[in-house]
Amino acid sequence: MKTNVRSYTNEELLNKVKSLPSFIKIPGGVWILGIRSNEDSPDEFDDKFYVFKDEEFVTVLSGSTNPGTYGLLNFLKWDKRGTAVIKADEWYYSVWERGLHNDKMEALRQVGEFKVIRDNNKNKKSGDNTSWTLESNKGLNFHTVSYDSTAKIVRTLIGQWNTGCQTPNDTEAYYKLMRETRPQKRFTYCLLDEF
């Protein structure tokens, strides 16, 4: 797995997420912790998603918590304010529900609120704006990089696969996670900046 994010112990991650002002409790069941790379390489999958069940580590996936350059440059196609970038160092409780992304892919669909900025400066780097807004039902989903659930693809370039979503780039690992968590309906997400 190619990623620029350093490795963490479970204790480091759990201590960090419990220290956030938005922390209420560790969710029951499976929840996802995204780590956004400080480097933020344009159009590269350079972030990580740690999966926990309660306080027990389950697995880690590589991916992107930032939109790719296509999303950052073409935001007028979906929102004139800019491309959504989810605010890090926040908990988002019960923010996703099992469903479909683009009516084609098993995914976790946004049903709760995210704090986001709208990036519209077209400099190919996400998150320069510091004006946060709360937005619901904007399609900020958790999905992978192929509509084929049998594919064994690990993409290196984001392209059009992330225009604001949280996107693991290893399809085999992603679809395995979807199968193993099938009984669960709602999912909590916590996103951290690399620390």
Place 1 in a pLDDT band, splitting at 50, 70 and 90: very low
The residue-averaged pLDDT of 40-47 equals 91
pLDDT, tens digit (0-9, with 9 covering 90-100), for 47-103: 999 999 999 999 999 999 999 999 999 999 988 888 999 999 999 999 999 999 999
The residue-averaged pLDDT of 166-180 equals 97
Tokens coding 86? 């989810």
Residues in the chain: 195
How much is the pLDDT for 123? 86
Q: Are strands 167-168 and 30-36 parallel, antiparallel or unpaired?
A: unpaired
Place 164 in a pLDDT band, splitting at 50, 70 and 90: very high
The residue-averaged pLDDT of 41-51 equals 94
17 CB burial (10 A radius; 0-12, 13-18, 19+): buried
| Domain locations in the chain as residue ranges | 10-193
The pTM for the full model equals 0.93
Contact (CB, 8 A) for 108 and 97: yes
Return the percentage of the chain with pLDDT > 70, whole number. 95
The residue-averaged pLDDT of 133-141 equals 82
Report the amino acid identity of residue 191. Answer: L
Backbone dihedral angles phi then psi of residue 162, each to the nearest 5 degrees: -140, 110
- For residue 9, pLDDT over 50 is answered with yes
Q: Are strands 30-36 and 186-193 parallel, antiparallel or unpaired?
A: parallel
The residue-averaged pLDDT of 24-37 equals 97
